[in-house]
């Protein structure tokens, strides 16, 4: 290194040392400026400043590209352990290490979990963990909160909420733009939906004209005659024969046979 280069390096070292010292001793007002410093070393020094408080860390966590190493140190800070706002901000940060986020998920409130699972930087493993955390809490979640959750949850959580017997929850699920058609079809193929749920789905503006949903409805043994008669004319002739084996009550069987005769089968 040339003499000029060594001199520049020494100046940079002295400048960094001065900034480190100032970051360690800055007062509460000054810290807000120091959280914008580009140096990771300065920011790490700032974490040891005794005047550091929750608002300072919240301002720091609004910055991008902090790096995993720095965020690990933030996560270990005493302020984070006692502040829900900091836990949430840390979990939402793009650089938060996956293992750290997984630990934070268990500490987050119910309605913050869907937001985490929908973040663009949330990978599939973390998204699944957030969804599983939500699903585990559903049995102990109040009815009103489950209905609200159905309006904002991801498709995986909606698939679980569909199993709820409450019509208000089912209506919220059916109206959600995140409910996938295949999830509803799979639900109709299980033993969960009762007659009331089937009627609700069959009359829902969004779903009642979907061919796959119609097939799942007519192939459900609990589908009542008034729903069955509405959809029978829309079925291919090849599917009518199997329906007689599914619907064993006399009224439904008569409807199916009438439809077959109408088609000359």
Q: Please check whether residues 15 and 99 belong to one and the same domain.
A: yes
Confidence tier at 27 by pLDDT (50, 70, 90): very high
Rounded Cα distance, 24 and 58, in Å: 18
16 is a domain residue:
yes
Q: Please check whether residues 20 and 101 belong to one and the same domain.
A: yes
150 is a domain residue:
yes
Domain boundary among 175, 208, 223: 175
117 is a domain residue:
yes
User: Distance of CA 180 to CAs 25, 46, 155, 200, 219, Å?
Assistant: 55, 47, 6, 17, 19
1 is a domain residue:
no
Say whether pLDDT at 191 is over 90: no
Q: Please check whether residues 16 and 103 belong to one and the same domain.
A: yes
Q: Are 259 and 232 in contact (CB under 8 A)?
A: yes
The model's pTM: 0.76
Q: Please check whether residues 47 and 95 belong to one and the same domain.
A: yes
Least confident of 116-120, 150-154, 209-213, 251-255: 116-120
Burial string for 7-40 (b: 16+ CB within 10 Å, else e) reads eeeeeeeeeeeebbebbbebeeeebeebbebeee
Instruction: Give residue-wise pLDDT tens across range 140-149.
Output: 999 999 999 9
Q: Please check whether residues 92 and 23 belong to one and the same domain.
A: yes
232 is a domain residue:
yes
Rounded Cα distance, 62 and 81, in Å: 18
Q: Please check whether residues 198 and 136 belong to one and the same domain.
A: no
Confidence tier at 248 by pLDDT (50, 70, 90): confident
Instruction: Give residue-wise pLDDT tens across range 47-92.
Output: 999 999 999 999 999 998 899 999 999 999 999 999 999 999 999 8
Q: What is the mean pLDDT of the chain?
A: 89
Domain boundary among 87, 107, 127: 107
Q: Are 46 and 23 in contact (CB under 8 A)?
A: yes
Q: What is the domain count for the chain? A: 3
Q: Which residue has the higher pLDDT, 244 or 208?
A: 208
Q: Please check whether residues 47 and 77 belong to one and the same domain.
A: yes
Nearest alpha carbon to residue 70 among 108, 50, 100, 31: 100
**Across 211-236, average pLDDT:** 92
Domain boundary among 86, 107, 128: 107
Domain of residue 81 covers 9-107
């Amino acid at each position: 290194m040339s003499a000029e280069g060594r001199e520049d390096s020494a100046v940079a070292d002295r400048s960094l040392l001065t900034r480190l010292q100032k970051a360690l001793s800055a007062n509460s007002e000054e810290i807000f400026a120091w959280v914008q410093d580009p140096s990771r070393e300065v920011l790490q020094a700032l974490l040891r400043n005794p005047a550091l408080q929750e608002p300072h860390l919240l301002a720091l966590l609004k910055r991008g590209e902090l790096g995993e190493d720095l965020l690990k140190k933030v996560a270990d800070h005493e302020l984070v352990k006692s502040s829900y706002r900091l836990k949430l901000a840390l979990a939402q940060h793009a650089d938060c290490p996956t293992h750290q986020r997984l630990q934070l998920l268990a500490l987050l409130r119910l309605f913050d979990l869907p937001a985490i699972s929908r973040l663009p930087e949330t990978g599939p493993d973390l998204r699944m963990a957030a969804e599983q955390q939500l699903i585990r809490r559903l049995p102990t979640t109040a009815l009103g909160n489950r209905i609200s959750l159905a309006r904002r949850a991801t498709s995986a959580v909606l698939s679980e909420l569909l199993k709820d017997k409450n019509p208000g929850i089912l209506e919220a699920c059916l109206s959600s733009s995140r409910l996938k058609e295949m999830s509803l079809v799979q639900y109709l193929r299980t033993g969960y939906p009762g007659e009331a749920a089937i009627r609700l789905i069959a009359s829902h503006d969004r779903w009642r004209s979907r061919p796959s949903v119609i097939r799942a409805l007519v192939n459900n043994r609990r589908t009542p005659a008034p729903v069955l008669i509405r959809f029978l004319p829309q079925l291919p002739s090849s599917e009518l024969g199997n329906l007689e084996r599914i619907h064993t009550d006399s009224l439904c069987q008569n409807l199916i046979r009438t439809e077959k005769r109408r088609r000359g089968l």
